[in-house]
């Protein structure tokens, strides 16, 4: 208030229908919108794009909505049809297309947190850190105004937590949060000089039968290749990368990240360097 920017509030009517209100004059007058959502629903969180006030995200019961025309029309982002009450939304202070959405899954009251680097087109789940009980959901999220990629997460009865996102969109949890038995080794050789060797080797181990993925991303967080995507029993494994993307094209020299994903959760991430030398 006082900035001249639009402000908004959300809630639900007496018949459990969601509504979202917008004011362009610092609260003197309001325009109300009713997103078309079936069933009992409510708007529990709102964030407005700092550079384009016509772009707004709304946290609902079961979905995150987005409007690009100031609220005239609303559509579901890719994070929809989930049993989550989205109580918290935040935009990265350094990159407003980087969105965090969190809330709780009722019965039990379970942690639920995601982030998107492309305005809601794709989302990746952020698991609860060690020390947060699975039956402690998220009440609200606030972005740090001074540090890019940093948010503060208030939980139901388990304190406030700080989360630092990776600028590439590939989360690398601290070593002490890795489940016992998961391991992801540094690739060899590294740097990987493709003109001298045809592939680099990535070794990893898992403690129990899991649906595993080993994926490669570039420095901007763009998916490059998936080396493993299948159920594997406990044990030690080797993945190999030949320096090509999913279309079979040789990728440029540069820094790349590879990550180990188990059961939909990122277990570990490492960095490698690919070189094309004469």
Q: For 260, what's the count of Cα atoms within 13 Å in the CB-facing half-sphere?
A: 25
The CATH T-level fold of domain 175-275 is Immunoglobulin-like (2.60.40)
Homologous superfamily of the 7-164 domain (CATH)? YVTN repeat-like/Quinoprotein amine dehydrogenase (2.130.10.10)
CATH 2.60.40.4070 range(s) for the chain read 175-275
Give per-residue pLDDT as tens, 118-159.
889 888 888 877 766 656 789 999 999 888 888 999 988 778
Assign 175 a pLDDT band (cuts: 50, 70, 90): very low
The rounded Cα 66 to chain-centroid distance in angstroms is: 16
What's the rounded Cα separation, in Å, for the pair 74 and 34? 9
Kindly report, residue by residue over 209-261, the tens digit of the pLDDT: 788 899 999 887 889 999 999 888 777 888 889 999 999 899 999 989 999 98
Residues 6+ apart with CB under 8 A from 104: 84, 85, 87, 110, 111, 112, 137, 138, 139, 156
């Amino acid at each position: 208030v006082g900035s001249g920017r639009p402000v908004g509030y959300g809630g639900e009517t007496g018949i459990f229908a969601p509504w979202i209100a917008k004011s362009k004059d610092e609260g003197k007058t309001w325009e109300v919108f009713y997103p078309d959502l079936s069933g009992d629903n409510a708007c529990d969180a709102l964030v407005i794009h700092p550079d384009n006030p016509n772009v707004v995200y709304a946290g609902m019961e079961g979905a995150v909505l987005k409007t690009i025309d100031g609220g005239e029309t609303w559509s579901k982002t890719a994070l929809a049809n989930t049993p989550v009450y989205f109580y918290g939304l935040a935009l990265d202070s350094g990159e407003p297309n980087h969105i965090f959405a969190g809330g709780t899954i009722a019965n039990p009251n379970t942690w639920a947190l995601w982030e998107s680097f492309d305005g809601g087109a794709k989302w990746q789940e952020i698991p609860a850190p060690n020390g947060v009980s699975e039956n402690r959901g998220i009440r609200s999220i606030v972005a740090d105004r001074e540090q890019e990629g940093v948010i503060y997460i208030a939980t139901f009865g388990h304190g406030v937590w700080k989360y630092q996102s990776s600028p590439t969109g590939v989360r690398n949890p601290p070593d002490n949060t890795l489940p016992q038995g998961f391991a992801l080794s540094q690739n060899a050789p590294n740097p990987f000089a493709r003109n001298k060797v045809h592939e680099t080797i990535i070794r990893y181990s898992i403690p129990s039968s899991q649906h595993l993925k080993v994926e490669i991303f570039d420095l901007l967080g763009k998916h490059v290749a998936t080396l493993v995507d299948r159920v594997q029993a406990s044990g030690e494994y080797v993945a190999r990368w030949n320096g090509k993307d999913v279309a079979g094209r040789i990728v440029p020299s540069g820094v790349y990240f590879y990550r180990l994903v188990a059961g939909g959760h990122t277990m570990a991430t490492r960095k490698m360097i690919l070189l094309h030398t004469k």
